[in-house]
Structure 1
Amino acid sequence: MVDTTSTSNTTTTKLFPIPVIPFAPVRQDERQHYLNLLYNQYFLCNSKFNLQYSINQLIKKSINNEFKIAKLNKIKSQYQHSIKKLMFNLKKFGTEDGLPIQLSQSNNNNDDNDNDDNIDNDDDYYNQLKNLCIPIQRLKRNNYITEIPLISNNYKFPILIDCNHCGNSFNLNEISNIVSCNFHPGKLITSTNENINNNKGKKIFGNDYINKIYNCCNELKGQSQGCKKLNHHVFKLNNSIDLHYLKPFINISNLRNSLNIINNSKIQLLRKQKIKAIGLDCEMCYTDKGFELMKLSLIDFKTEKKILDSIIHPDGDLIIDLNSHVSGVNNIPKNSLTFDEAIIKLAQLTDNDTIIIGHGLENDLNVLRLIYPNIIDTAILFSENQIDIKRKDPLKKLAWSFLSENIQGKEHDSLEDALIPIKIVKKHLDNINKIKIRNKM
């Protein structure tokens, strides 16, 4: 709703914010205040930079952009920061994105013509991307396997191992035996008593007392052995030598050589030109051979389009737990790709120069048993706590911080989890380039 009683004086133009459902980050009167300020800035910007927008266009821009900011930002401070940043860009640069007018208009035109196809025309962009790759020593500190493990002559593969679900020790040779494995599939979270539901009729004293509860069933820690039961124990190997003994690691270059993939063939030269970086994410399951690959998703960095999104049949004969509450995979079709077929596809699509992008990729590459030299891990690069390497921000938090996107409502979507790190990296590079352009002005 707009009432324009006068077009010569910006202060007499009345604007009304579009309602945000279910609620806005600030009160209606505060939104009205910022909307008036934003319109005034658009009005001044239009005159200062000779943009030649009509009054109606300025009104529409003000209302729509304030609404967009109010809808995307759920916290008052974020709303205020975003709208003040927009006004600053308008005042200094005459554009909403903070770029010079010519460059901003060029970007807008590219958006209409699918600019994804031209994103890598400038080699500098991929040089910047290459600079984000994590050094080998830092990868090692974050538990990445960067070289083929060496197995000594006196090495013995562990037979007695702890179950990764219930924690009880068992013999790997007896993994097919029927047992009672009780566990909680969810994570422990901190909560006060007043926030705990479904306490099974048990009386709990002291509303200020802090408890640990499982988010899968809201049970208190120690209240039961677990809300889920399996008939077999499961295991996950973490030692690189144990992993290599069970299924060998291989460098991507050596894998390509073993498959006789010719680097100078027309197909590979075209692939190398078009696919320079990919987003990767895996979903894993438990079998009698440990923690195995169950789904593989690949996204092209340039176009953000799907390259591969396939269920993978694990090597193990006995599939114990599909981790459906996290992975979203409820069954494995008989015609699914085998592990070897999936690895061959990866070898055909990537090489030693390909940049692999993802979040917490050490686990994904471990189940793939592949070693890549060029890794961009958003969990390492963008986590707030850079002192303790064990404390990494989840992808859900980074998606909200960088992109204002709320992901992973319940189950994980491996295709989404492969795409979001790409978007985060692009956002980061765009911010760097904007700063460079401003510094040159």
Structure 2
Amino acid sequence: MYAKLDDRKTCAFRDAREQETEIYESTQTNTYKSATANTLIKLKRRAPITDSTSPVIGTENTIRKRLEEAERSQSTTLTRSNLKKYIPTPAQLQEYGYVVDIPNTLGGSEPSAVGQMKDCSRCNQKYIVEDGDLLKDDCKFHDGKAITTKVDGRRSRIMSCCSTQMGSSGCCTGPHVFLEKDAESLNKRAGFIRTPLRSDSLDVVALDCEMSFTTSGMSLTRLTVVNSDAEVILDELIKPHSKIIDANTRFSGVTIKQIEESAVFDLVGIRSVLFEIGVGSDTIIVGHGLENDLNALRIVHSNILDTAILYPHPAGLPFRNSLRNLAADVLKKFIQDAAPSSGTVVATHSSLEDASTTLDFLFESCYYSPELLSSDKVALVKNLIVENDPSLDTLLETLPRFNHLNSITLSPTLATLIFEDPALDSTMALQKACPSLRQVTFAGDQVFKIVNQPSGIEFFKTKISDCNDVNLCSSCDCSPNRYQPKLMLRKRRTLRVAY
């Protein structure tokens, strides 16, 4: 096994002695022989080692601990393995408007809509798409959204841009523009392609696109891609193949002059670059409302993590949470809040900021480790897994840093220490250290729910066998009698306290 190493004799003698010590200390007289035989079988199955830094050098326990440590350190890094469980099904993607199959129409057969009758996406009037040098500002529209507010004590829908009643005449003027969303029409403008299969594809990337109105509809004008560490790996302006009608500068920050002077790639070229930097069919692409970005790129991709799907709107489709509201509510982070100064146009959207923000939503479940504690992602963790048995005092000291922690999974040692305290002092200390905590889980799939109480939040410990009658909790030991809660059995080995 060590035959190809320069110091093979030294390594072999050292590891053989340490392996023998491990077996001796972990077995008894009647199990020593079988443990030794099992270890020898495992050693024979190891592949030949050619590098002294190989992770499979050492005893069985050494390798096992090394793999566990690598798994814990990966919990603070976004990888394909720890994110694939969140990937939506093809049916979910279709429900959210994703193109999952290349359309049957001929790709690129009608690259421009010049001369065609279209409905303006701003004022809803019908018009004929023109390609002249002078575009008429005959479209009156609102560039804001309809919001609900109170006017004279009554609910009213007004426009966010000018505070006038919904349905009033537009406050802005500009050329008519149109937007196509169905896959067949998009494919006629520019053909869809699938992301290629690559053996060296990146695990995770986040991307965001900026689009402009052209005579082909909405066309890609900027692409920003960041890796799992939020480092920019691609940020380019793209020159559309059709005439630009409106660069959408107010939202994208991209001007027609910038595109004409700085754009190097067209749509085909930027897709080639995207694939060359490592984006393949196995790469997980992260973003918000990614169906719009992938449609602009004319890419069919199935490994998607869309924060609009991960955090659905309470009212369901067609309503969706905006990235700005999600960032403020979940991350306590304020984005897209740029305001134009006098005489300048400032983009309210930044493709780099948007792409980086979507990554922050993915730090949900992490292992408690020194790597996590030293990371700036600690405040984003929602589900904390504690397996390495830190002392209770150490855990209580570090918990306040987890600002958005919802649940914690404890090792058996810590669980016994905390939940066997009859005075509930440890549980109250855990609650005080992290007020946002709502669920505690430990070995045996036992779950303790935490609910609001009249005087704060408290933990209630019990086993299902201790409380056969869910209506007699005021006389049992499952909670302080002064609250007299009612236990409701939700599922096996899970208890919820309600009032």
TM-score by length of 1: 0.60
Q: CA 1:160 to 1:177, structure 2 compared with 1: closer, same or farther past 3 Å?
A: farther
1:102-143 Cα distance to aligned partner (Å, 9 max, x none): xxxxxxxx9xxxx9xx647999x6322011111111101111
Paired letter, 1:375: I
In 2, Cα distance between the equivalents of 1:119 and 1:127?
9
Aligned residue number for residue 326 of structure 2: 398
Native 8 Å contact 1:402 1:427 kept in 2 = no
CA shift, 1:178, in A, is: 4.2
Correspondence 1:229 to 2:173 = yes
Q: CA 1:313 to 1:151, structure 2 compared with 1: closer, same or farther past 3 Å?
A: closer
Aligned residue number for residue 196 of structure 1: none
Which is higher, the Rg of structure 1 or of structure 2?
A: 2
Q: What is the RMSD computed on CA atoms of the aligned residues?
A: 3.0
SS of the residue 1:242 aligns to: helix
Native 8 Å contact 1:161 1:171 kept in 2 = yes
In 1, Cα distance between the equivalents of 2:132 and 2:97?
27
Correspondence 1:335 to 2:293 = no
Paired letter, 2:272: I
CA shift, 1:418, in A, is: 0.4
Of 175, 183, 194, which aligns to 1:251? 194
Aligned residue number for residue 312 of structure 1: 238
Q: CA 1:307 to 1:119, structure 2 compared with 1: closer, same or farther past 3 Å?
A: farther
Native 8 Å contact 1:189 1:215 kept in 2 = yes
Aligned residue number for residue 347 of structure 1: 275
SS of the residue 2:213 aligns to: strand
SS of the residue 1:351 aligns to: coil
SS of the residue 2:161 aligns to: coil
SS of the residue 1:392 aligns to: coil
Q: CA 1:121 to 1:210, structure 2 compared with 1: closer, same or farther past 3 Å?
A: closer
In 1, Cα distance between the equivalents of 2:329 and 2:154?
31
SS of the residue 1:364 aligns to: helix
Of 269, 279, 285, which aligns to 2:206? 279
Paired letter, 1:314: P
Structure of greater relative contact order (alpha carbons < 8 Å, 6+ residues apart): 1
Q: Which runs of 5+ in 2 are unaligned?
A: 1-68, 339-347, 367-380, 386-407, 412-440, 444-499
In 2, Cα distance between the equivalents of 1:408 and 1:178?
30
Equivalent residue runs for 1:25-424 within 5 Å:
119=74, 126-151=80-105, 159-172=116-129, 178-179=135-136, 180-193=138-151, 207-224=152-169, 226-230=170-174, 232-253=175-196, 263=198, 269=200, 272=201, 275-301=202-228, 303-317=229-243, 319-331=244-256, 332-333=258-259, 334-338=261-265, 339-349=267-277, 350-385=279-314, 388-410=316-338, 411-424=348-361
In 1, Cα distance between the equivalents of 2:357 and 2:275?
23
Paired letter, 2:336: Q
Paired letter, 1:325: R
Q: Which runs of 5+ in 1 are unaligned?
A: 1-109, 194-206, 257-262
CA shift, 1:325, in A, is: 1.9
In 2, Cα distance between the equivalents of 1:121 and 1:402?
18
More helix by share: 1
1:4-42 Cα distance to aligned partner (Å, 9 max, x none): xxxxxxxxxxxxxxxxxxxxxxxxxxxxxxxxxxxxxxx
Provide the identity percentage: 30
1:287-336 Cα distance to aligned partner (Å, 9 max, x none): 111101111111101x221112222222212x221222222223424231
In 2, Cα distance between the equivalents of 1:120 and 1:127?
10
TM-score by length of 2: 0.53
Native 8 Å contact 2:130 2:215 kept in 1 = no
In 2, Cα distance between the equivalents of 1:404 and 1:122?
21
Q: How many residues align?
A: 290
